[in-house]
A and B are shown apart, each in its own frame.
Chain A
């Protein structure tokens, strides 16, 4: 004690202590503002009563009406939703199978397969797009046909880059599965299918929902790969918005984008409520 230095050194704050500093809070505030201001601006100007998107001229819903009446925009929107729903469904099932296989079985080349499976996540989208374009052209995949068959190329492309995301999410979830749960189920008299349905599947569910949601949003707003695989008759919403913006950024584009944002948020909220039935049950009682 007697040998303690007379000058007590000031403690250096720990990494999490910095949250009390005013300058850090200011930076956080500015960051948030920069992140969300454009989105808020986009939503706000969708109600702007002006053909040009620069000055606020008063509130109107006219551009929602005109977006609604813009047949090609609605068609693009319907295309996007159709593709997203089909791609989500297929890639969720496919991704779940892949995840279960990787979780459960050992087979030669497993590590290599696991790496290859995740390639679409890391391969630059532009390369995927070009690859898809060349692939479909080479095998002569029919680009026409009645709706929704004309969307098949885009849908397949979307599935191919969506399912690895589902697989990765579900696989991560299954890593936390206690094998004794499965054994307990067998021990209590359940067969393989009953065990899968009543024990393994409920455990997978949060992973499936999270994966499906990820796939849905990825598919809905994908531009690059879609751009390469879409034909003149199969325009999706992001591609359509892009072509509209090339002429001018009208509030109509804002209105359509706002609707897309709303759909995404609603889907997220629904998924989160599904995610946690316990909390919902408690809230109800």
Chain B
């Protein structure tokens, strides 16, 4: 895939920057989005992700750099002539038109032949399962239904790329969950490249094929959800995606395919790691990679430490424990409440043993 990158790219962003007065919203960003990919731009608010989306749509003009869509430079092409459509955060469904007219709008202003408009609109409304609401006005629809209208209105134009700006943020938790699945299925069904902007990592991880993590106008890492979670390239990404324990380690030496680290509070540990490392590194340890037991674990290959439970957060399906270790660390540990009695067995103040496999710790050099 990587060697065919150029041909595969539907959107290529080349050294793009955007300044709003003294503020640099997007700072020299370059990456490519592949055809038929579900791509997510993920980052904290104000990181520039929405600005990138709006530049792709043509609603903002880059201060520098070029954006190509399907091989064509978009610099001189206004928003209304781009093969791109967008689902806005507020959905922006036209309040004075019913569902049918909203969906037909994009075709009518294009001068599509009348005979063609009807069937295409009906098809798009069917795709988002809004057939029975076609005659309704937006003020008679729920938030989720309005979003479907916004989706149909964009899809009916058969864009090469569909942009979604925080599409689920206005929905309640249950509906958001359902829409996540639905959006992922829809993307596979229509076979259009989706680019979604979100600040919600669960959203990005569960839907996207690839995710670009952004911070302060820059792209920090682009990877598949799995790679992003298990192999974060920087402390920022490790911290932003999921829960993590960040430990400071001094490099004591190298063994084949691993570094020997002196980790404050844990001692000397060899952790698998390729490539060069600086003198001090960050070790990222995910809470679910740590095992908890009331007796000392047997396994010789694991890193073992003792501690006392300081705090306990119960989520139903699982719990987070915060353990103060004998080495003076406070580690977050995740346990599945696999048995109904799990919750009763361990309590705040209990002494527990923690252990993890060295291979489950991540050496982060940045």
Contacts and interface: CB of A to CB of B under 8 A. Distances in A.
Interface of A: 178, 180-181, 183-191, 194, 198-199, 202-203, 278
B59 A187 contact: yes
Nearest to A285: B135
Given A178-B90, A183-B59, A183-B88, A188 B96 contact: no
B79 A202 contact: no
Given A180-B90, A186-B58, A198-B105, 15 more contacts: A181-B94, A181-B95, A184-B150, A184-B153, A185-B94, A185-B105, A187-B84, A188-B106, A189-B80, A189-B157, A190-B80, A199-B94, A202-B94, A202-B96, A203-B95
Contacts of B25: none
Which range holds the interface residue count of chain B?
20 to 34
A187 B109 contact: no
Given A190-B109, A278-B137, A184 B92 contact: yes
Nearest to A190: B109
A187 B79 contact: yes
Interface in B73-95: 78-81, 84-86, 88-90, 92, 94-95
B78 A188 contact: no
Contacts of A184: 86, 88, 92, 94, 150, 153
Contacts of B154: 187-188
Nearest to A179: B92
Contacts of B344: none
Interface of B: 57-59, 78-81, 84-86, 88-90, 92, 94-96, 105-106, 109-110, 137, 150, 153-154, 157
A187 to B, nearest CB: 5
A278 B154 CA distance: 25
B80 A186 contact: yes
Contacts of A185: 94, 105, 109
Contacts of A194: 109
B9 to A, nearest CB: 22
Contacts of A190: 80, 105-106, 109
Given A199-B94, A202-B96, A189 B109 contact: yes
B223 to A, nearest CB: 29
A188 B88 contact: no
B88 A191 contact: no
A203 to B, nearest CB: 7
A183 B79 CA distance: 9
A205 to B, nearest CB: 8
B281 to A, nearest CB: 45
Contact of A187 (B86, B90, B95, B110): B86
Contacts of A180: 88-90, 92
Contacts of B110: 189
A168 to B, nearest CB: 22
A202 B102 CA distance: 13
